[in-house]
Structure 1
Amino acid sequence: MGISGWNVAGLTPVVLRGNGRDNLLDRSAWTFSTGFSFNEKFNYCAASFGENFGIPFYPSETAGPRSLMPTINASPPGWLEGNVVRITDPKHIWHDPANATLYIIMRTNTNGSGYAAVLKAVEQRDGGIALQVVTAPSGKLLSFIPFPGGSLKFFITYDTFTHLYWMASSIITDSMCKLSATPQGRYNLPSNQRNILGLYYSSNCIDWVQASVISKGETEYHARNYPSFVISGQDIFLVARSGDCFAKNGQYTNLITFHIIKDFRSLVI
């Protein structure tokens, strides 16, 4: 199905596997997962989709954006930037003793905040990689998980010293404002608040603890979002897509900022 505008409903996540001894510039050196797009798996126009969870939060169409106000649109629900994690704790119900399963936690457009999407990538006997849905122990489909800042891009990495997953994500404090009261400089929907960046940690990728505020912009124009980071010794080195008073808005920004979180492991409570 063709989708105009922001086509996150039509994206298919792909996990790639390559051998470091091969020429990774050669496409044939990589194994690509097989999977499905959001709209191939979920009928988000069905009356039962998202019932009791308010997904999508605002009414949306199937083939393109729906105008809510002259400057605010709601795109069809979908997923985009993903983080691949391996569950290493044998006590975790997602742990795979065969070490053949990865989980993809993805930023998710629900036209609201507070949720991410999850899939698993399972290595097959023939060496291929297949994307599969996740189910709860009840047998219910587990498409969405509660997630801080899940409506915007986040970044997760695993720390072997603390045995914790660390994440940088947007802190959203104002997603429930009326459309007509959306602050100046915030791009599109109220949930797109991008001016506070937080650091979190988790032992299981589901239950997250906020460790600190990494950076907070003075206004909506001063975005601090879309983070990526590396762990270096006792510190985290992080870059973010940021803005200042010369930015067009919180989405279309003009800076990349660099942040150091010193002795980050001391933030664990």
Structure 2
Amino acid sequence: MNRIRTWKYLLWVLVTVWPLLLAAAPRTPVVEVRGRLIDIRKADRWSEAYPQYRKHRFGNSLPERLVGMNYAVSLKEFAGPSAVRCSRPCDLLLALNATTPDTMLWHPTGETFYINRNLYRLYEGRYTTPGKWMELPATRNGKASSMLFARNLRVAGTVPVPGTVVARVPVLRKTHITNPNILILPDGSYLAVCSGVYPHRVAAIYRSTDRGESWSAWAKVDYPINFYTLFLHRGALYLMGTRSPQGTIVICRSTDNGQTWELPDETSGRGVLLEGHYHSAPVPVVEHQGRLWRAMETNFPDERRQAFVLSAAVGDDLMRASSWKISRFLKSSPEWIAESDEGGFRQWIEGNVVVAPDGRLVNVLRVDEQKWGRSAAVVHIEGLRKLSFDPAKDIIEMPGGGKKFTIRYDSLSRRYWSLTSIVLDEFRGMRHGGIYASGIHCGLIRNTLALISSEDLYHWRVERTILASDNPFFDGFQYVDWQFDGEDLVSVIRLAMEEPRGLPNRQHDANFLVFKRIVKFREAGEPDVIRTLHKSGGCG
């Protein structure tokens, strides 16, 4: 009996007292840092020491007490953190390369370590002015970024995200946001979908009932689906894409506005449309002359991607493979665009089925070539099986055509519209000493988002700039999906930029899904301009 009482008492302590003790225990204070392009990383032997510098790594010389500790750093050629602030006094560790600080404030520990040939010396300092910024020693010009080590770090003064954040990656640089989709339901609510929030390619669905002002988690599609499009047909929602990682074309269905889903069944074959290796993106599903149409590409190993389209009669069961007809596959040729140092016509991908002005269907594809970044291709759909293409006529100049885009037709303006990541000449070939030492190519310049339009799908013009950044290395506004909403456009953006947790790996690897409304899109407007590369904060 005494033993039972003892166990009951211990259980009561565990449930009642222990949480109170934990709450009362002092927590590691948050140390805020500021500066130019500041990243928060974890120090480990053989891990990359600077953002976007793959060949510069910590080695065996890293002191044991720094292993596993967080640190603040910038690009190697920048100064590193310029100031620090905390809510209470704390001890700091600062590593400097070829820079001697004021030894009255910073005391050498005698510890050193190398990153490649760069020798760092470690200093200890005491922060004693809670809530106030303390300037850090300035790195000498031409020397490697300083590093501030602490258990709990946060970047202060980051540029606000230009839009409403729908979702963000749970751990920075471990995954990135992909497959952004947006749909307006008949009840007026918005659904946004993306990958990168949950593991294993599970799609996360968010809902807004206030026209995009706020968003809440709505559901998830517990199936490894990729390259998908969300669309509504005859009262049901569908998610059509490929099974990851194999690439088989699959489709999911929901009859309750996306809260629950009928998933593909590999045993019965329901929801499994075409076995193989295929590729796409969130591109439109178009209803035309009694059929639904969607573009895709092959993705077989060691083969150039080939364009094709799928279609199904509007009254057929879309979950059955037999309902879908597959066109022939259409090859591309590198000779269609003249070869250069950057290569010619590399591939065509992420096509949009569009009804052309003459009432016929075409597939407008992104062209991957790394010199200009403004080419697209118009493939003609001639029935269920036949596709045709004339490279002399059907390779077009389209601002931002080198990155994924969505095209929709507006009957009021009688124009086709798209949001694209255009390439400005001022950013071509920009470089730093890391992964862009040879200059950034146009396929990865994604820091300017523009609204473009065309009367005929062949001649495009930029109507206005929506988002503009000075930083092509880390900022990316890309893979935009959008819908008409009266006089406005509503969009979701796969967006990469700095945040309090640090920097994304690069502009391609988005850490945010962002909603943005473009008010009165047919009229002129001013862009949202952000500066993350040249903002104040000290530079080397």
**TM-score, length-scaled by structure 2:** 0.37
Give distance in 2, aligned partners of 1:121 and 1:145.
17
Counterpart check, 1:202 vs 2:459: no
| Aligned position for 1:69 | none
8 Å CA contact 1:239–1:258 kept in 2: the answer is yes
Amino acid in structure 1 at the alignment position of 2:315: R
Match of 2:485 among 217, 229, 232: 232
- 205, 213, 219: which is aligned to 2:471? 219
Name the structure 1 match of 2:304.
Answer: 10
| Identity value in percent | 23
User: Displacement, 1:182?
Assistant: 2.8
Contact 1:227 1:239 in 2 (8 A): yes
| Structure 2 residue matching 1:142: 3-state secondary structure | helix
When residues 6 and 169 of structure 1 are mapped into structure 2, their CA distance, relative to the original with a 3 A threshold, is farther
| Structure 2 equivalent of residue 58 of structure 1 | 341
Q: Give matches, 1:229-268, under 5 Å.
A: 229-245=482-498, 246-267=503-524
- The offset of 1:145, in angstroms, is 1.1
- Residue by residue, what CA displacement relative to the aligned partner does 1:202-245 show, whole Å, maximum 9, x if unpaired? 11112222121111235221211111100011110011111112
Aligned pair in 2 of structure 1 residues 171, 76: CA closer, same or farther (>3 Å)? closer
For the 8 Å contact 1:217–1:224, the answer to whether it is kept is no
- Determine the C-alpha separation between the residues in 1 that align with 2:461 and 2:345: 30
1:92 alignment counterpart: none
In 2, are the aligned partners of 1:174 and 1:190 still within 8 Å (CA)?
A: no
Distance (Å, rounded) in 2 between the aligned partners of 1:248 and 1:157: 32
Paired letter, 1:162:
S
**Match for 1:116: what amino acid?**
A
Question: Deviation digits for residues 149-191 of structure 1, max 9, x if unmatched?
Answer: 111112211011211100111121138844xx43578798421
Contact 2:497 2:507 in 1 (8 A): no
In the alignment, structure 1 segments of 5+ residues that lack a partner are 61-74, 89-94, 136-140
What's the CA shift for 1:8? 9.7
* Number of positions where the alignment pairs a residue of Structure 1 with one of Structure 2: 218
Q: Any residues of structure 2 matched to 1:155-174 within 5 Å, and which?
A: 155-174=406-425
Indicate conservation of the 8 Å contact 1:115/1:147, yes or no: yes
- Quote the residue 2:431 is aligned against: 182
- Relative to 1, partners in 2 of residues 1:82 and 1:186: Cα closer, same or farther, differing over 3 Å? farther
Instruction: Note the C-alpha offset of 1:142.
Output: 2.5
| Per-residue CA distance 1:49-104 (angstroms, 9 max, x = gap) | 35xx6x334255xxxxxxxxxxxxxx97111111122122xxxxxx3xxx4x3111
Read off the aligned partner of 1:206 and give its amino acid letter: Y
Which amino acid counterpart does residue 311 of structure 2 have in structure 1? R
Distance 1:151 1:58, change over 3 A: farther
CA shift for structure 1 position 9: 6.3
2:370 match: 111
| TM-score (norm: length of structure 1) | 0.71
Aligned to 2:232: none
* Cα RMSD after superposing both structures: 2.9
The letter for the 2-side match of 1:25 is: M
Matches within 5 A, 1:38-187: 38=332, 42=333, 44=334, 49-50=335-336, 55-58=338-341, 60=343, 77-88=346-357, 95=358, 99=359, 101-112=360-371, 113-123=373-383, 128-134=384-390, 141-174=392-425, 177-178=428-429, 181-182=430-431
